[in-house]
């Protein structure tokens, strides 16, 4: 699921991949459902490709979102990111991901993480655990075909 949700540099919010065209992607905003083309010269990244820095290995964003969903009981994060201090943001992330790398994760990263989570929950795309299991099963099946 997170592989079809995109972040486009310079544009606020998240976008769902709808279709592929010649030299472009057709995306739909999760916030207002408007569709428009996104071109190759824009920095486009799938949420499935993003991970958070920790003291050991990097943790996929889907795992962080799943931990946030468990902590918030499936609802949006109640912390107001506009009024929160960096200490508040780090304290929240510490509850969700206790071993995050405090040197490489910035307060702006935590704000973006919380806003993305809230947007996904508001859009009804909050099945983070199921997508992780399905993606892992898909990868195993592909590995078996290759052998």
- The domain segmentation of the chain, as residue ranges, is 2-47, 50-145
| Residue 86: predicted pLDDT | 94
| Residue 130: predicted pLDDT | 53
| Residue 21: predicted pLDDT | 85
| Residue 137: predicted pLDDT | 42
Tell me: domain 50-145, CATH 3.40.50.300, correct?
A: no
**Other CB atoms within 10 A of residue 11 CB:** 16
The token duo for 136 is 């892992």
| Residue 43: predicted pLDDT | 93
| Residue 3: predicted pLDDT | 87
The pTM (predicted TM-score) of the whole model is 0.82
pLDDT tens for the chain, 147 residues: list them: 788 999 999 898 999 999 998 889 999 999 999 999 999 889 999 999 999 999 999 999 999 999 999 999 888 898 998 999 999 999 999 999 999 999 999 999 999 999 999 999 998 887 876 544 444 444 443 434 344
- Separation of alpha carbons 134 and 131, rounded Å: 5
The token duo for 53 is 């820095």
| Residue 22: predicted pLDDT | 85
Residues 58-94: b if buried by 16+ CB within 10 A, e if exposed: ebbbbbbbbbbbeebeeeebebebeebeeeebbebbe
Token match 């310079």: residue?
Answer: 10
- 2-47 folds as SH3 type barrels. (2.30.30)
Token match 């949700």: residue?
Answer: 5
| Residue 132: predicted pLDDT | 43
Asked if residues 97 and 52 have their Cβ atoms less than 8 Å apart, the reply is yes
**Other CB atoms within 10 A of residue 8 CB:** 19
């Amino acid at each position: 699921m997170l592989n079809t949700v995109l972040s486009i540099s310079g544009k606020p919010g998240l976008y769902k991949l709808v279709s592929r065209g010649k030299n472009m992607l057709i995306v739909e905003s999760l916030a207002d459902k408007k569709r428009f083309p996104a071109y190759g010269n824009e920095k486009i990244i799938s949420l499935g490709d993003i991970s958070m820095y920790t003291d050991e290995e990097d943790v996929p964003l889907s795992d962080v979102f799943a931990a946030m969903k468990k902590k918030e009981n499936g609802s949006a994060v109640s912390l107001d990111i506009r009024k929160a201090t960096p200490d508040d943001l780090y304290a929240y992330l510490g509850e969700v991901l206790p071993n995050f790398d405090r040197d490489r994760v910035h307060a702006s990263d935590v704000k973006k993480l919380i806003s993305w989570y809230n947007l996904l929950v508001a859009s009804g795309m909050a099945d983070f655990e199921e997508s992780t299991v399905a993606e892992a099963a898909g990868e195993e099946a592909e590995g078996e075909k290759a052998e």
